[in-house]
Amino acid sequence: MFKPSTIAIVKATAPVLAVHGYAIILRFYPRLFEAHPELKNIFNMRHQERGEQQRALAAAVQAYTALVRRRWPDVRPFAFHSHDRARIQVVVGN
């Protein structure tokens, strides 16, 4: 299901995500909203203020990473996060 290159990236980044995943997410959203303030209309900003969105995304990323590392055959339960990010065209940048 996963390409070998995807598995290699996940395995290489998993230790960093395990330790720093939440800190990375805490940087992600402010940068996202700074670069694209129009997205504030799409996200629930109350969840942002409470830290709920950040915790949910960090947990989803860590769970997805664990599944990929184990080559879990079905990652559909986590597809909603990917779908939401793709729907609003959130992409990896610098």
pLDDT digits (tens, 9 = 90+) for 24-56: 988 999 999 999 999 999 888 898 899 888 888
Q: By C-alpha distance, which of 10, 20, 18 is closest to 71?
A: 10
pTM: 0.62
For the chain, the average pLDDT equals 77
Q: Kindly tell me the burial class for residue 25, based on how many C-beta atoms sit within 10 Å of its own C-beta (0-12, 13-18, 19 or more).
A: buried
CATH of 4-87, one of 1.10.490.10, 3.30.360.10, 3.40.80.10, 3.40.50.300: 1.10.490.10
Domain map (residue ranges) of the chain: 4-87
pLDDT tens for residues 53-80? 888 888 888 887 877 777 655 555 555 5
